[in-house]
Amino acid sequence: MASLADRPFVKMNGLGNEIVVLDLRDGPMPVPPEEARALARPDVLPFDQIMALYPAAVPGIDAYVRIINADGSEAGACGNGTRCIALYEYGRTGRAHIRFESIAGLLDCNVSSSGITVDMGPPRFGWADIPLAGPVADTRALDIQAGPAEAPALAHPAVVNVGNPHAVFFVPDAAAVDLGRYGPELERHPAFPDRANISVAQVLSPDHILLKVWERGAGLTRACGSAACATAVCAARLGLTCRRVTVTLPGGDLTIDWREADDHILMTGPAELEFSGRLTPDMLGVTA
Ligand SMILES: N[C@H](CCC[C@H](N)C(=O)O)C(=O)O
């Protein structure tokens, strides 16, 4: 497989969710998983996701995007990363309305002075859509848990697919949960054949949720846009909140609006451009 050596990159973040943008439209190539893992090393260019841009297949779409986690696995959605590439494309073209295509569908973005809004599409709650290992009638409360059997630390998550799989545990006190301890086993729980992103959510009011996330293929992150979307729709589906909420993550706030008219999830928040550079063989773990 060809190497990414000598390709330009842009380092960005969405509320501290660490993003690397690789614009591969001039020379499309897959992202080698082993090079992604090498690049993500703490002393190289630590990131949570790579957003790789490819030529769009249809007119009117700015790019096709593929999302690679720090462990080299591929994801179907990345809300914070999508805001980052929307800002990147706005900087390149000056156009505020940007459209991406992804494996999970169309991502309609709008860049404005009040933030970047991404239409993440509709949630999918069916067990096979998540996916789960077998039929489950009620995906509002999956029969799994973590921690001591007699007093589980986390139990009965709501599950949803928002382009990628999420399990959301609602708890009375999110700060009291050691997600770093339970995240790894829950991410790889047998109930999730494609693994899952794991959220711990505390409902503060009908329009405000506190959230922390263990991301599939990346671990604890400062923010996770798709988890904020997943948590907002699961909370509304359970009657815990209204359909428009502020989600407060360790890195900051996102506004999520689960639109009644078409069931689409709109996520609004910031993105930040940090620096750019060029990838070297050393950064990619490639022997020259
Ligand atoms: N940080 C991303 C989520 C990445 C999800 C990825 N970890 C997966 O495997 O689904 C976000 O802001 O939505």
- Is 113 annotated as ligand-binding? no
Which ipTM was obtained for this model? 0.91
**C-alpha to C-alpha distance for 175 and 183, rounded to whole angstroms:** 14
Q: Provide CB contacts within 8 A for 176, sequence distance 6+.
A: none
pLDDT in the model for residue 288: 59
- Is 110 annotated as ligand-binding? no
CATH topology of domain 8-121+271-278: Diaminopimelate Epimerase; Chain A, domain 1 (3.10.310)
Cα torsion angle, 40, 46, 48, 51, sign: negative
pLDDT in the model for residue 287: 79
**C-alpha to C-alpha distance for 244 and 199, rounded to whole angstroms:** 19
pLDDT interval class at 29 (50, 70, 90) = very high
**Which are the catalytic amino acids?**
78, 224
Determine the distance separating the centroid of ligand 1 and the alpha carbon of 60, expressed in angstroms.
26
Atom of ligand 1 nearest to the CA of 80: 12
Residue located nearest, by CA, to atom 5 of ligand 1: 78
pLDDT interval class at 251 (50, 70, 90) = very high
Atom of ligand 1 nearest to the CA of 228: 13
The answer on pLDDT for 259 being more than 90 is yes
Determine the distance separating the centroid of ligand 1 and the alpha carbon of 143, expressed in angstroms.
24
Which tens digit of pLDDT belongs to each residue from 211-240?
A: 999 999 999 999 999 999 999 999 999 999
Residue with tokens 């630590």: 46
Which tens digit of pLDDT belongs to each residue from 196-216?
A: 999 999 999 999 999 999 999
Find the angle CA(272)-CA(256)-CA(205) to the nearest 5 degrees.
120
Locate 207 and state its tokens.
Answer: 């329009």
Domain ranges of the chain: 8-121+271-278, 145-261
**Ligand 1 residue neighbourhood (C-beta within 6 Å):** 17, 48-49, 69, 75, 77-81, 164, 197, 215-218, 221, 224-226
For 22, which DSSP code?
Answer: E
Determine the distance separating the centroid of ligand 1 and the alpha carbon of 216, expressed in angstroms.
7
Q: Are 70 and 40 in contact (CB under 8 A)?
A: yes
Please report, as a single letter, which amino acid is at residue 168.
Answer: V
Does the domain made of 145-261 have the CATH classification 1.10.3720.10? no
- Is 216 annotated as ligand-binding? yes
pLDDT in the model for residue 1: 80
The answer on pLDDT for 108 being more than 90 is yes
Q: What is the mean pLDDT of residues 38-61?
A: 97
pLDDT interval class at 119 (50, 70, 90) = very high
The answer on pLDDT for 33 being more than 70 is yes
